[in-house]
Amino acid sequence: MFVDEVKILVRAGSGGNGCVSFRREKYVPRGGPNGGDGGDGGSITLYSNLNVNTLIAFRYKKQFSAPRGKHGKGSLKDGSKGADLRIAVPVGTMIFTEDKRLLCDLKNPGEEFVAARGGRGGRGNTRFATSTNRAPRVAEPGEKGEESYLILELRLLADVGLVGFPNAGKSSLLSRLSSARPKIADYPFTTLSPYLGVVRVDESREFVMADIPGLIERTHEGAGLGIRFLKHIERTRVLLFVIDGSPSTERDPVEELEILKGELGQFNEEMLSRPHCVALNKIDLFADDTKKKLEKYCKGKGIRMLPVSAVTGEGLENLKFVLAGFLWPKGDD
């Protein structure tokens, strides 16, 4: 199961109370105060870890509490600090408040965010002794630890994002170009969650490709399955529009491409300014006039169009190097 958004409660530990105590030893008159300080409460830290792929662990455990600090004791014994709680999340996790204010974006491995700070321990009465008040009978209580609800949202990190209608052949492309094995079938919405695959270009270059569930018209308004996963495309550096060129499709290829671009633009206009190209899939099935029509449209828009077949493998090697050209322009190797 792929889980990419959860709401959790984090509750840091409160600080321990300071102690009111006096030295009481035989033959030691006026021993004075010797109350120790309370220990600080434990904090809660979220950190990005490459070994974690989804937020599914938070589906079953949504409340996290760090232990409180121990109370101070007599004989100047300070309370021990509450242990900090560290929680691993996937790389690419964004942390929001309940009102969707962004707090942190953990998009690199090993990054950390202190989600809730532990309360400070209270001072014992030893801290309040002065030249005029040698026997203070006051100590501080520990401070309460921070507590808040957080929304964790995972946005996959990929170099190339596949965008297309259901049954356009995105999953087939991913399976042929990489070792990923997404579900493939001859009915719409086969892909119900994003898939990542590593595409090897040559001995020194490889990139990550992401396949998301198919988009349909009004996806940006919530139609279909794609709205939940459009956010994953925001992370990609290059977009690959996959167009179904088979005779069985009821949609004109130019119309299909315009709808896809329109949906992305409605969701986030900045995405249309990224490098992108078009793969006209199912070259083994479509007629030559279909290719010419889309080719003419793409040429007028300055978009690179490549006819491919995920079934026979035709054109895939060329597609791989074209995508690599976007990722590693000449001079950037």
Which pLDDT score, from 0 to 100, does residue 228 have? 63
Q: Any idea where the domains of the chain sit in the sequence?
A: 1-154, 160-327
Residue 188 pLDDT greater than 50, yes or no: no
The structural architecture, per CATH, of the domain 160-327 is: 3-Layer(aba) Sandwich (3.40)
pLDDT confidence of 222, banded at 50, 70, 90?
A: very low
3-state secondary structure of 98: coil
Least confident of 29-33, 323-327, 329-333: 329-333
The pair of three-digit structure tokens given for residue 327, joined into one six-digit string: 């990722």
Strand order in the sheet with 206-211: 195-200, 206-211, 160-164, 238-244, 276-281, 304-307
Specify the higher pLDDT residue, 309 or 39.
39
Q: Which of residues 208 and 66 earns the better pLDDT score?
A: 66
The answer to whether the Cα torsion of 89, 95, 97, 103 is positive or negative is positive
- The residues near 255 (Cβ < 8 Å, ≥ 6 apart) are none
Tell me what pLDDT residue 286 has.
66
Is the model's pLDDT at 276 over the cut of 90?
yes
The confidence band for 229, taking pLDDT boundaries of 50, 70 and 90, is: low
- Condensed to tens digits (0 to 9), the pLDDT of residues 59-77 reads 889 999 999 999 999 999 9
**Residue 313 to residue 326: CA distance in whole angstroms:** 21
Q: Are 282 and 244 in contact (CB under 8 A)?
A: yes
Domains 1-154 and 160-327 are alike in CATH topology: no
- 186 pLDDT band, cuts 50/70/90, is very low
pTM (two decimals): 0.74
Indicate whether 333 pLDDT > 60.
no
Radius of gyration (C-alpha) of the chain in whole angstroms: 29
> What confidence tens digit (pLDDT) does each residue in 250-267 have?
678 888 889 888 888 888
The per-residue pLDDT for 41 is 97
Give all strands of the β-sheet with 5-11 in edge-to-edge order. 63-65, 5-11, 147-154, 93-96, 102-106
CB 306 within 8 A of CB 316: no
Q: Using 50, 70 and 90 to split pLDDT, how confident is the model at 214?
A: low
Overall CATH class of domain 1-154: mainly beta
Average model confidence (pLDDT) for the chain?
Answer: 85
Q: What is the pLDDT of residue 190?
A: 47
